[in-house]
Structure formats: C-alpha cells, structure tokens
Amino acid sequence: MFKYLVEKEFKQIIRNKFLPKLIIVYPIIMMILMPHAANLDIKNIRVSVVDGANSSLSRELYRKVEASDYFSSVEVVQSYEEALQSVEKSKSDIILDIPASFEKDIVKTGKTAVYIASNSVDGMRGSVAASYLATVVHDYSRQVAQTPRAMPVVEIISRSRFNPSMDYKVFMVPALIVMLITIIGGFLPALNIVAEKEAGTIEQMNVTPVGKFLFIAAKLIPYWIIGFIILTITLVLSKLLYGIVPVGSLAMFYLLSSLFLIVVSGFGLLISNYSSTMQQAMFVMFFFLLIMILMSGLFTPIDSMPLWAKAITAINPMRYFIEIMRMVFLKGGNLYYLARPVIILCGFAVLFNTWAVVSYRKTT
Amino acid sequence: MKETTHAIITENLTKKFGDFTAVDNISFDVKRGEIFGFLGANGAGKTTAMKMLCGLLKPTSGMGMVAGYDISKNSEKVKKSIGYMSQRFSLYQDLKVWENFRLFGGIYGLKDNEIASRTDEMLKNLGFYDERETLVQSLPAGWKQKLAFSVAILHKPSIVFLDEPTGGVDPAARRQFWELIYAAAESGITVFVTTHYMDEAEYCDRVSIMSEGKIAALDSPENLKQKFGCTTVEEVFHKLAGGVL
C-alpha cells in the first residue's frame, strides 16, 4: 500500500511545472546571493578629511587612512561645514578634522588631538567606522611619537578563534542551510496536504483503508529525499564558491540535518492540519517563519537580546539547529558539546510529530 | 441473520452539528445487490447520512451496519469493503488514467498484476483503452465521472456509494453512466446512490425520499407512485418534500 502512495507523490512532484525547478534553483540562488547580501562586515567607509594643518605630517595621516582596506575613499575638504554637508548628502560617512596646529603641536610637545565625527544614522556602522578610524590614528601616533613615554604600556593582541579571518560568509552559510531545510522540508509537504484538501482528493483518501500514519509518511518521504539533495547542493556550492567546508564530519552534518528535517516537517504538518485553504496555511507559515528567523540568532546575536526575547528564543527550534550547524561548520563540535541542543531538538521532533498525527482526522 | 441479506442496516441514525440536526433518527435497510436511490432536496441531509455510512463522519447517536461492520466502532473495516465516489470529482488530475487505477488498486491491497489486468479489462469495456496514458485533467467531465466510478469499484467492493455522480453532465452521458451502474449491480455490487435528478430515481430498485433530515417515504418507484397517486417519482417528491429541487 505504502509503495503506491510514495510512487504517486513522486510522480506529482516531478509533473509539477514549478516544484522541480524551485528545488534546484532556489538553493543555488540563495547560496550565490545571500552570503554577499546578508554581509554584516562594515567596509567601504567614505571619509571626509578637513586638513586644517595642510602639512606633511597631516597628509601622512590621511594617506594612512586611505591605505586601509576598510576605507574606500578619502576626500579632502576645506572646512568642517563642507565636510558636514558631504555627510548630509550621504557622500561621506565620517569626518576626520585635523586642527591647524597639528604639526606644530607634535613637534613642540609631542601631543595633539584630532576630531572624529561619524554619521550614526545606522548606529552600528557609525560606531564601527569611528573605531576603525581611531585605530588608524592611534597606529599613526605611535609611529610619530618622539618620546617613549607616549608608547602604550599594555598592548592587546586579539585573535579570532574558529573563524580566524572573521569572514561573515563562514557565519552565514550554515544559517542558510537552516532556512533552506525549513522551507523545503517543512513547508512544502504541508502545502501539499492542504492542496489535497482544497482539491477534495483527501476525502477520497479518507474513505479508503489508508491509515493516517501511512498517508502522512508517504507525503514526507519525498520531501526528505529532496531535503538531502538540497543539502548536498549547498555543501558543494559552499566549497566551490566560498571554500567553506564543515570542520565536523559529514556524517554528523547529514545526521543532525535529518533530525531538524523531522522537526520542521512535523511543524508543517501541524499547520496543515489546522488550515483548510492554501492561503491560510501560507499566511500562518510566513508568520512563524519570520518570528523563527528573527528569534533564532541567524542575523542578530541572541546574547544581545533583552531577557524576554531570550526567553522566546528558548522555544524556537531553529535557534538550536543554527547553534548546531555553526558548531559543526566552525568548531567541528563532537556530540558531547552538541548534546544539549540535540536533545532539545529531539524533544521538539517528538512533540510536533505526535501532535500532528493525533490531530490529523480521517473523519470531518 | 439480517446482516447476511442486507448490505446496510440503520437504526435511529442521527447526526447533529451543534443545535442543528442534519440527520434525524433515520432507520432503513438496503438489501444486497440492490440499487438504492437516496433522494432529497439540497440540505435535506443526504450527503451527511452517506458520509456517516462511509465512516467519514461519526454519528451522534443511533446504529449503522455497513457490509456487516458497525460504522461507529469499525469504521476502518467498513472502509475496506466499500467504494466511494464523491460529489466533487476526486481522482488525481495530474496522474494518468492508468496511474489512478494503480494507486487506488494498490491502496485496497490488490497486487500489481491484478491491478494491471483489471485496469485493462475495465478500460477496454469502457472503450477507453487508448486513453490510458492521458492525464486525467485533460479529459471531458463525462469521462472523468465514468473513470471515477470504475476506480471506485476496481477492488470489487460489496457496496459502492455514489454521491450525485451525474452532476453537471449531459443527458446522454448520464444514460451511459447508468448503464455502468446496472452492470455493477449485476456483478453483485450493492449501489447506494444520491441524486436530485428525478428521472434517475425511476432506474432504482427502491428509493427513499429525505426531507429535513427525516425519511419521508421509502419504497420501489412503482409502489410510491401508486400510493401517492402520481405518474412520476418527481410528482411524489414534490408532494413530500414540497420544495424546489
């Protein structure tokens, strides 16, 4: 009995005009575009320099700024007002104001001050730009310092572990895999079931001796297989495009991904049981998808959320899987360290799927 | 035993939706091999009664036996012994003709070679063998209904339930459809059919007329006409149901 049901699902998926294309194209587009678009690295900062001193030392300072990777353009203007106008017109992000007495002060006393003003409409970008610029100025001051007393006593050497180049893509790729699994593995089979409700074919199924468990399993299996195809596509692309491969074992990667597939498909089924039209199901799904993504630490760190928001993330299965994927990709993570999120995900899998099977009714 | 001579037995079968009583204490029997017509205006409770008999709805109270199984306690066993064709056409539009046969044959536990031979036989009888590779969605409505009926009796059920099977097709196609129903009845399948075409009621062995959830009359078309002094079942229906169709 089961064989015939699975066969039917595969035929329907393959004959669908849109689905097979979506299954191949969607992960490819996501993998090519998203890591660049969802890039939180702050780069291409444009600087306006008010060079009041117009001396060789001040020129040396802003050439140093120009040479840094973070700053894309350095424009020298005549006055602070002019620089401010440039910021207002969004032509510049930050102002470096060098006073007229800059060179004189350095030569005479070995001490001087510059003024940095940054555009903080985007607070994050503003403060990061200011701190980059301050670092450059600081480096410069050490270089020109005449007396040893200006040398900083403590030097901080920082090293980024697990993602040594601080590459944002390494952080994004595992998160993308999570989104793809959720959409393809969780939402597509649910929409498929609601579509059968709309077409009336589910009624025909309900008068047959097909058990609800078999009917649901036959719906899920094709999408799980599709989920694995997509995982493989993303893995290959992540290696080819970004040279990113999981530090952890591939077996672990597939094993834990299938656990999450079971969680999200259970969740999708739940939605399908309580929806009678595609429109309703889609709307409910997007509602949950948005909340799940925002509350998962995918784009923003959970640690900087307020307490109440942190509490919400605790009941978000996506959060645990993102944690797992980042560990598998970046740290290698053995099961001992992953135990907690894995156990929690198992709990979600049991909860959603039991609820889904219990709430699916063959009688109306 | 009544159970061996009767395909369907109901006693005081009732279905309530909140305060509304859709089916009100109906009791009737259907003999094996009979073509039983179930008439009633829209909203009279025909479909609700039929869904209870098929195990799609749980009765609020009363008893029903279908093919020897209790519909409240053994609805899954009932489902094994019946065929059902719903009012809304429900074969899979994106599957080919033979694929629909294969799917439903497989669901009822037929073997691959059984399905293949029965499908070929049925399609040849219908004169439809050349269309077996056609997607169902590209067929005309009359043909879809004949196919849906064939699929419903593919596993040789003891009873087949037809919910307004000829809705929306032309008179010629309706006559052809009734030929299929006769053929099925001759092969020993009990046919339980709802309709609101009164001419079709004349083709049945016995008909029941439902009005406001109750059975207003139940007899052969001839006896009904005699009893109410009418020339057609349609007139009987108007006398009893009083309403418009």
- DSSP per-residue string spanning A20-75: HHHHHHHHHHHHHHHHHHT------EEEEEEESS-SHHHHHHHHHHHHSTTEEEEE
Q: Which chain B positions have a beta carbon within 8 Å of A207's beta carbon?
A: 54-56, 79, 82, 84
pLDDT the model gives residue A153: 45
CB contact under 8 Å between A204 and B90, yes or no, is: yes
CB count within 10 Å of CB B223 equals 13
More confident residue, A152 or A257: A257
Confidence of residue A58 (pLDDT cuts 50, 70, 90): confident
pLDDT mean over B102-115: 94
Average pLDDT over residues B70-98: 90
| Distance in Å, alpha carbon of A352 to nearest chain B alpha carbon | 25
Nearest to A201 among B80, B82, B90 (CB): B90
**Higher pLDDT, residue A298 or A261:** A261
CB contact under 8 A, A204 and B84: yes
CA distance B33 to A49: 98
Distance of CA A357 to the CA centre of its chain: 33
Between helix A19-37 and helix A212-242 the angle, nearest 10°, is: 40
Residue type, A63: R
Give the pLDDT confidence score for residue A166 in this predicted structure.
55
**Quick one: closest CA in B to A12, which residue?**
B94
Residue B11 parent element (H or E): strand B6-17
Q: What Cα–Cα distance (Å) separates residue A244 from each residue in A143, A241, A251, A296, B209? A: 38, 8, 17, 22, 73
**B95–A8 CB contact, under 8 Å:** yes
Which residue in this structure is represented by tokens 């036959």? A218
Token readout for B185 is 């009845």
Closest-CA distance, A5 to chain B, in angstroms, reads: 7
Q: Give residue A315's pLDDT.
A: 92
The reported pLDDT for the residue numbered A249 is 86
Query: Is A158 near chain B, with CB under 8 Å?
Result: no
Concatenating the DSSP letter of every residue in A141-174 gives: HHHH--SGGGS-SS------SSSTT--HHHHHHH
Alpha helices in chain B (DSSP H): 2-5, 46-54, 75-81, 97-107, 112-126, 141-152, 171-186, 198-201, 221-228, 233-241
Side-by-side strand order, sheet with B20-31? B20-31, B6-17, B61-66, B69-70
Which carries the bigger pLDDT value, residue B9 or residue A165?
B9
- Per-residue pLDDT, B245: 47
The pair of three-digit structure tokens given for residue A308, joined into one six-digit string: 């109440």
Q: How many helices (H) and strands (E) does chain A have?
A: 15, 4
Q: Does A361 touch chain B (CB under 8 A)?
A: no
Cα separation values, A165 from A125, B16, B49, Å: 20, 69, 71
Q: Best-predicted range by mean pLDDT among A139-148, A234-243, A291-300, B147-156?
A: B147-156
Give the residue from chain B lying closest to A3, CA to CA: B106
> What distance in Å separates residue B5's CA from the closest CA in chain A?
24
ipTM rounded to 2 decimals: 0.85
* CATH code for residues B32-60+75-241: 3.40.50.300
Cβ count within 10 A of residue A359: 13
Whether A54 and chain B come into contact, CB under 8 Å, resolves to: no
Instruction: Name the most confidently modeled range: A80-84, A136-140, B12-16.
Output: B12-16
Q: Give the per-residue pLDDT at A283.
A: 93
Instruction: List pLDDT tens digits, range A196-242.
Output: 989 888 888 889 988 888 888 898 899 899 999 999 999 999 899 88
Q: Is A59 on the interface with B (CB under 8 A)?
A: no
Terminal C-alpha separation, chain A: 23
Structure tokens, A123: 């607070």
Query: Who among A4, A201, A362 is closest to B106 (CB)?
Result: A4
Interval B215-228 mean pLDDT: 90
The segment(s) of chain A belonging to CATH 3.40.1710.10 are: 45-150
**Rounded mean pLDDT, B185-207:** 90
Q: Which of B86, B92, B108 sits opposite A209 (nearest CB)?
A: B108
pLDDT of residue A364: 54
Task: Please state, in angstroms and rounded to a whole number, the distance separating the CA atoms of residues B31 and B204.
Answer: 13
| Residue A91 near residue A117, CB atoms below 8 Å | no
Q: Which fold has domain A45-150?
A: abc type-2 transporter like fold (3.40.1710)
pLDDT score of A156 more than 80:
no
How many C-beta atoms lie closer than 10 Å to residue A155's C-beta?
A: 7
Is B201's pLDDT higher than 80? yes
Task: Give the nearest partner residue to A1 out of B79, B93, B106, using CB atoms.
Answer: B106
Q: What are B27-67's pLDDT values in tens digits?
A: 999 999 999 999 888 888 888 999 999 988 999 999 999 99
**Cβ-contact A98, A53 below 8 angstroms:** yes
Percent of chain B with pLDDT over 90: 60
Residues of A in contact with B108 (CB under 8 A): 208-209
pLDDT tier for residue B5 given thresholds of 50, 70 and 90: confident
pLDDT of residue A330: 80
CA angle centred on A349, ends A344 and A355, rounded to 5°? 125
Name which of B121, B128, B200, B113 is nearest B153 in CA terms. B121
Per the document, the length of chain A is 364
Of residues A40 and B216, which shows the higher confidence score?
B216
pLDDT number for residue A252? 87
**Alpha-carbon distance A12 to nearest alpha carbon in chain B (angstroms):** 6
| Mean pLDDT across A307-329 | 89
Per-residue buried b or exposed e for A185-222, using 16+ beta carbons within 10 Å of the residue's own CB:
bbbbbbbbbbbbbebebbbbbbbbbbebeebbebbbbb
pLDDT surpasses 80 at A145 = no
pLDDT score of A309 more than 70: yes
Per-residue pLDDT, B135: 94
Of A201, A203, A208, the CB nearest to B79: A208
C-alpha torsion B8→B11→B15→B21, nearest 10: 130
Non-local CB neighbours of A364 within 8 Å, separated by 6+ positions:
A203, A206, B51, B56, B57
